[in-house]
Amino acid sequence: MNDPVFIFDVHLDLSMNALEWNRDLRWPLERIRRWELSMKDRIDRGNNTVCLPEMRRGRVGLCVATQIARYSPYFHALPGWSSPEQAWAQTQGQLAWYRAMEEVGELVQIRTRAELERHLERWLKTPPGDSSPLNGVSSRHKPSTLPIGYILSLEGADSIVTLKHLERSYADGLRAVGPAHYGPGRYAHGTDASGPLPAAGKDLLKEMQRLGIILDVTHLCDECFWDALDCYQGPLWASHQNCRTLAPWNRQFADDQIKAVIERGGVLGMAFDAIMMVPGWKHKQSKPADFQLKIERICEHIDHICQLAGNAKHVGIGTDLDGGYGTEQTPLDLNSIADLQSLPALLRKRGYSAEDIEGIFWRNFVDFLRRTWE
């Protein structure tokens, strides 16, 4: 059996799960699931796939971890906070959770290239171990006890009350911002919405560029996507963004958008949400078994991006696991984030080299950060 590959997951909503789902992510996966057996407030109760022990078991030693809070004014179609100030307060509570996890040694924040290199060295030089079940089968590997590195990102910028708040967040370690989430927003319009980038969004992007904050183009509606690329010249990526050609819906990127990200030196993270992997998924109705959906399906999205790029240097992992859904909306063979370790073998069968696989699993996004933080 091959050693598990180190993984850099570029989109995980850890603090949202801790505070809004009330999950202690230090617990084992099965304990969280048992705790939630009688809970009916959310569709994914008892179906979670992410916790810190499973991240370590799956060698997910580095991630981009989010803050998220939508502003939902009167008659807004989506749930959220009634004022930007309340949304800001929610993100500050999420930041406090990350700090609490740092204090107990579970997480370590990564803000600079030097910190990134030190963290990578620790994980890459630490052997996986010698005894732990992986995918239900006993193996010679056991999880590392090293802290998991996280880079702070903001998904949807509604909570940025003023540009001074963005500067304050940068001082707290914020290194990437996605201006939009679902629906219309204060700074940009997102999935299932439409319209040009508002003037406030252009101001936000100018300040992000001044501070050196990465633009996450994930979720931007088509018009805002192109507007953002026109007025922002800084570093950009798509943290969790699959291919519209393979899963038609405006949530995914069309080929010209993928090419634009590639031309700007960006990387696209592959999401493992079934609704983003297959065509025809009906939200809250479809099941993975309806499509016989397996992890291997993501290889088609990876292949498509590599064909557009002409190489394997612009694709990575941004699972979005437990991003408001659980195993009711993941591939049948993905019970835990640790099951990402089945993907290298699937890629090898498709002719990807060891160098390609290392790039997809962590190096492509790390090299992006090395260039960005130089």
In this predicted structure, what is the pLDDT of residue 127?
84
Q: Return the SS3 of 67.
A: strand
Model confidence pLDDT, tens digit, residues 283-323: 999 999 999 999 999 999 999 999 999 999 999 999 999 99
Residues near 368 by beta carbon (within 8 Å), at least 6 away in sequence: 235, 237, 265, 266, 267
pLDDT(99) > 60: yes
pLDDT digits over 182-237, tens only?
999 999 999 999 999 999 999 999 999 999 999 999 999 999 999 999 999 999 99
Residue 243, pLDDT > 50, answer yes
Q: CA dist 338 to 29, 45, 236, Å?
A: 11, 19, 28
pLDDT tier for residue 143 given thresholds of 50, 70 and 90:
low
- pTM value is 0.95
Distance CA 1, CA 120 (A): 23
CA–CA distance, 98 with 54 (Å, rounded to integer): 18
CATH entry 3.20.20.140 includes domain 7-372: yes
Count Cβ atoms within 10 A of the Cβ of residue 163 and give its class: 0-12 exposed, 13-18 middle, 19 or more buried.
middle
